[in-house]
């Protein structure tokens, strides 16, 4: 009798621990990495966020900027070779508009500014700007109505809009707006032409804010609970904009090693889910636990529809020799559901 009761109890416990299988609206399609950057040699969580700078004079001399949240900023070419390194402190996120890049810097509790010279394809550190809140976490840059904006995000759910003026290499940012959300934020991206800011709330989902209206409130784009593929942490956000109303928003669903892709145009319907796997020849490992990412829709040598660049947690072991992987956007486009 005792044995029967124990067996029954174990069955009830097993049933209680059983979780329903995840049901996704799309098959997760694996796309291959084609290039990887030189590793940030060592153990620990180092690589975080990339930004693609397209050289307006010679696209073949375009660059990838990558943050090292222990040490500073790495600069790579499109073949993944490291060209420069700036030991400016604990950089978390980086973004670029035209030839001005901005990074969130825990070391100085502020924003670090970098100029990119198209003629020499080299980067220069212009200096740092302190912010009044504690620990700027993520950051993104945008150009709206001719004004350069930097938007640092914070763990307390705040995102700030700084209007930036540059004169002879001197950066003069002005805080013009603060938006408050409920939970920890990191990834964000401007859709410049639509005057919209998309923001990732790590434990909740994706929001957007209409920047043309100073009184606008955040509007939900998607949530983890909706079951479209997002999971915590919602991390990197970026935009592929092909013009003529064709574009996509892509988000890193970090814990699931995947990325959810949406129509850029409202109502931002989900269009697909991808995972970045090894290169076709097996020389480059697959990607896990992506934090930051960036997309460029500008044609580049070998990439007529642009590239997706993602942070890889392990190369190939988790938190060892972390780096960034490049994906041909054509592979992503082929995975999307019409």
pLDDT value of residue 18: 54
The whole-number pLDDT of residue 12 equals 41
Give pLDDT, residue 38: 98
Q: Is 41 exposed, middle or buried (CB count within 10 Å of its CB: 0-12, 13-18, 19+)?
A: exposed
- Kindly state the tokens that stand for 187: 């990834």
For residue 172, the tally of other CB atoms under 10 A from its CB is: 11
pLDDT of residue 167: 82
pLDDT for residue 2: 43
For residue 11, pLDDT over 50 is answered with no
Model confidence pLDDT, tens digit, residues 47-102? 999 999 999 999 999 999 999 999 999 999 999 999 999 999 999 999 999 999 99
Q: Which residues lie below 8 Å from residue 40, measured CB to CB, with a gap of 6+?
A: 46, 47, 68, 74, 321, 322, 323
CB distance 48 to 311 below 8 Å:
yes
Rg of the chain (C-alpha set)? 21
pLDDT of residue 245: 85
Instruction: Tell me the average pLDDT across 297-310.
Output: 98
Across all residues in the chain, what is the average pLDDT? 93
Parent domain of 95:
27-335
In a domain, 90, yes or no: yes
Q: Is 19 within a domain? A: no
pLDDT average, residue stretch 177-188: 97
**Confidence class of residue 4 from pLDDT cuts 50, 70 and 90?**
very low
Distance (Å) of CA 113 to CA 73, 171, 283: 11, 8, 35
Query: What pLDDT, on a 0 to 100 scale, did the predictor assign at position 30?
Result: 98
pLDDT of residue 338: 79
CA distances (Å), origin 246, targets 144, 199, 237, 243, 249: 19, 21, 17, 5, 11
Contact indicator for 80, 63 with CB cutoff of 8 Å = no
Nearest to 152 by CA among 115, 113, 126: 113
Residue 250 lies in a domain: yes
Specify if 126 maps to a domain. Answer: yes
202 part of a folded domain = yes
Digit-coded pLDDT (tens) for 200-230: 999 999 999 999 999 999 999 999 999 999 9
How many other C-beta atoms lie within 10 A of the C-beta of residue 77?
A: 16
Nearest to 24 by CA among 202, 261, 211: 261
pLDDT at 275 over 80: yes
Q: Is residue 13 part of a domain?
A: no
Tokens 């004004």 belong to residue = 147
Number of domains in the chain: 1
Q: Which CATH number do you get for residue 198?
A: 2.120.10.30
Mean pLDDT of 104-111: 97
303 inside domain:
yes
Residue 130 has pLDDT above 70, yes or no: yes
Spatial separation of the C-alpha atoms in residues 108 and 293, rounded to whole Å: 24
9 is a domain residue: no
């Amino acid at each position: 009798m005792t044995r029967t009761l124990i067996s029954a109890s174990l069955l009830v416990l097993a049933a209680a621990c059983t979780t329903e299988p995840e049901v996704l609206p799309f098959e997760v399609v694996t796309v291959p990495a084609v290039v990887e950057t030189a590793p940030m040699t060592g153990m620990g969580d180092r690589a975080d966020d990339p930004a693609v700078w397209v050289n307006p004079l010679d696209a073949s001399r375009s660059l990838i900027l990558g943050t090292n949240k222990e040490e500073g900023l790495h600069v790579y070419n499109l073949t993944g070779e490291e060209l420069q390194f700036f030991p400016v402190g604990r950089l978390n996120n980086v973004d670029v508009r035209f030839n001005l890049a901005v990074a969130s810097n825990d070391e100085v509790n502020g924003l670090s500014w970098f100029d990119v010279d198209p003629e020499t394809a080299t980067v220069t550190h212009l200096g740092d700007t302190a912010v009044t809140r504690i620990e700027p976490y993520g950051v993104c840059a945008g150009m709206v109505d001719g004004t350069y904006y930097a938007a640092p995000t914070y763990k307390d759910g705040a995102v700030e809009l700084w209007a930036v003026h540059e004169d002879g290499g001197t950066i003069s940012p002005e805080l013009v707006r603060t938006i408050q959300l409920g939970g920890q934020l990191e990834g964000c991206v401007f859709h410049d032409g639509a005057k919209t800011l998309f923001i990732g709330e790590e434990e909740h989902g994706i929001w957007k804010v209409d920047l043309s209206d100073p009184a606008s409130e955040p509007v939900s784009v998607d949530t983890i609970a909706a079951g479209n593929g997002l999971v915590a942490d919602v991390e990197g956000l970026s935009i592929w904009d092909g013009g003529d109303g064709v574009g996509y928003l892509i988000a890193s669903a970090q814990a699931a090693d995947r990325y959810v892709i949406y129509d850029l145009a409202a109502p931002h319907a989900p269009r697909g889910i991808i995972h970045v796997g090894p290169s076709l020849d097996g020389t480059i490992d697959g990607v896990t636990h992506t934090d930051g990412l960036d997309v460029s829709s500008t044609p580049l040598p070998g990439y007529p529809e642009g590239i997706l660049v993602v942070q890889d947690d392990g190369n190939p072991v988790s938190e060892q020799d972390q780096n960034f992987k490049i994906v041909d956007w054509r592979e992503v486009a082929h995975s999307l559901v019409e």
